Amino acid sequence: MVDIYEIIELLPHNYPFLLVDRVLEFEPAKRIVAIKNVTFNEPFFPGHFPKKPIMPGVLIVEALAQAGGVLAFKTFPEKKGSVFFTGIDEARFRKPVVPGDQLKLVVEVIKHRREIWLFKGMAYVGDEMVAEAKIMAMLKEE
């Protein structure tokens, strides 16, 4: 398990943009399962939308990308640097994500070669997949 205190050391993000709360499972260079608890008190809900709080799909993709970042950083704990989000393909938003949902972020490595990583991300609420995307990222060492 990776708790929030370790996540804030691994990722550069902060409020209101850190979208990973906890890591449940981690296999280096292979797979990560993380959670994001979604509450009515999210900063985006007043605007998206005033009478219909729905988590923006782009932020579900962001949460998947951040989980991928944790996977990459924890795979190479000795390397210091940043993960840059460089691309997205085949994104789909299948069901609305609303206050009270717990997002399960499953990210698998399709391939990584040198500094380029290609991830398949799937977001679940319960047993249902609510969003998916292929995400590209580049690790830049300092």
- Residues at the contact surface with ligand BDE, assessed by CB under 6 A: 49, 52, 54, 57, 93, 95-96
Cβ closer to ligand BDE: 53 or 69?
53
Q: Counting runs of H as helices and runs of E as strands, what totals does the chain give?
A: 2, 6
Is position 48 annotated as part of the catalytic site?
yes
CB of 18 to ligand BDE, least distance (A): 22
Distances (CA, A) of 105 to 19, 22, 81, 141: 10, 10, 23, 25
Minimum distance, C-beta of residue 93 to ligand BDE, in the bound complex (Å):
4
Query: Which C-beta is closer to ligand BDE: that of 45 or that of 73?
Result: 45
For tokens 């605007």, what's the residue? Answer: 47
Between 49 and 84, CB nearer to ligand BDE = 49
DSSP annotation string for 24-74: EEEETTTEEEEEEE--TT-TTTTTS-TTS----HHHHHHHHHHHHHHHHHH
Which residue among the candidates 13, 22, 48, 74 is catalytic per the annotation? 48
CB of 89 to ligand BDE, least distance (A): 18
Give catalytic residue positions: 48
